[in-house]
Amino acid sequence: MKELVLAYSPYTSDQAFPFDEVFTYGQDAKTVGFDNADAFVLWGGTDIHPSYYGQNHHRMNGAPASPSERDVWEWKAMQHCKANNIPIIGVCRGAQFLCAFAGGSLIQHVSGHHTSHQVVDHKGLSYSVTSSHHQMLDVHGTKHKMLAWCPAPLSLIYCGEGVDAPPHIQAQREKKKFYEPEIVFFPDVKGLAIQGHPEWAKVGDTFVKECNQYVVDLLLTNKFWR
């Protein structure tokens, strides 16, 4: 494979691991732009403003009263990537923003996701992921492929704008068909959403290997999704 360039949002750091196993160079997309970029990565951070997914603040939502400078710039960056067919990788907050960009929403507050835990994937593989988030992807209404999820719900609560779970999630829970998403592919925006933190894992961990394989298969070669 040719040498590849990973553009990144400047609002966190120039962290490259674990995607430096796939990409040769990194570039600050705000300073340098997206010329020659083969993909764009959004890392973790503070809560995004709920207006991006059509909700008001839950009391536990840590977003400011108005969209932050980071929110505005990263949303425009994703619009640019979609218009120019540049794949997007979202990690933690980045995964949540990517879900909203793909037409989904967020569960504004959950519990039980502040330690490493097991996931299962669409191939039947089980492995440990690093985790530290109090919000969660809500992929309802989007075109997506669930790649990995929690084998059993970890959270005791799923808050929308208030204390109650959104109706579609409550209905799924009652039928025992609700799965907490961990890795999701959104083909319409060519986006890979990773709720956990592969950058906190060790070289050679299954979590790292699987994330990088998804980047290659889904975003760079389109082998997996037709």
Amino acid in the structure at residue 116: S
Please give the tally of structural domains in the chain: 1
- pTM flag (> 0.75): yes
Pairing of strands 39-42, 88-91: parallel
Positive/negative CA dihedral, 58, 64, 65, 68: negative
Residue 193: give the domain boundaries: 5-220
Residue 178 CA: distances (Å) to CA of 71, 96, 147, 224: 29, 18, 15, 25
| Residue 95 within a domain | yes
| Residue 67 within a domain | yes
User: Which ranges of the chain have pLDDT less than 70?
Assistant: 1, 223-226
Pairing of strands 181-186, 25-28: unpaired
| Residue 226 within a domain | no
Q: Looking at the DSSP assignment, which residues form a beta bridge with residue 128? A: 118
Q: Looking at the DSSP assignment, which residues form a beta bridge with residue 131? A: none
pLDDT digits (tens, 9 = 90+) for 76-113: 999 999 999 999 999 999 999 999 999 999 999 999 99
* CB neighbours of residue 173 within 10 Å: 13
CATH number at residue 185: 3.40.50.880
